[in-house]
Amino acid sequence: MEACAGSHFMARRISSLGHEARLISPQFVRSFVKTNKNDYVDAGAICEAASRPSMRFVQPKTENQQAMHCIKECLTTFPANFITNGAEHRS
């Protein structure tokens, strides 16, 4: 699977059922997409990328890791958004 927020959850669920879940970073999949991006083309690119022997896979994040990442993103983007939105309302 291509790594994103939802895929980490799915990888944990698949692993709990006894299967091996492998996540690929989107930056590595992008080089295998040859046309416009859609689900069908993405699936082909992911299959092609996963079949490469030198492909590096992403370790699925735990629930705690995802929660900490979310908190960090909120704390870093909130001040910038607050300043931007505050400036818009003042003018």
- In this prediction, residue 41 carries a pLDDT of 82
Domain borders along the chain are: 1-60, 62-91
SS3 1: coil
Q: 40-73, pLDDT tens digit by residue?
A: 888 888 888 888 888 889 888 999 998 999 899 8
**With contact defined as beta carbons under 8 Å apart, do 37 and 58 qualify?**
no
Record the tokens describing residue 59, joined without a space: 């370790």
Closest CA to 26 of 7, 52, 40, 54: 7
| pLDDT cut 90: percent of the chain above it | 20
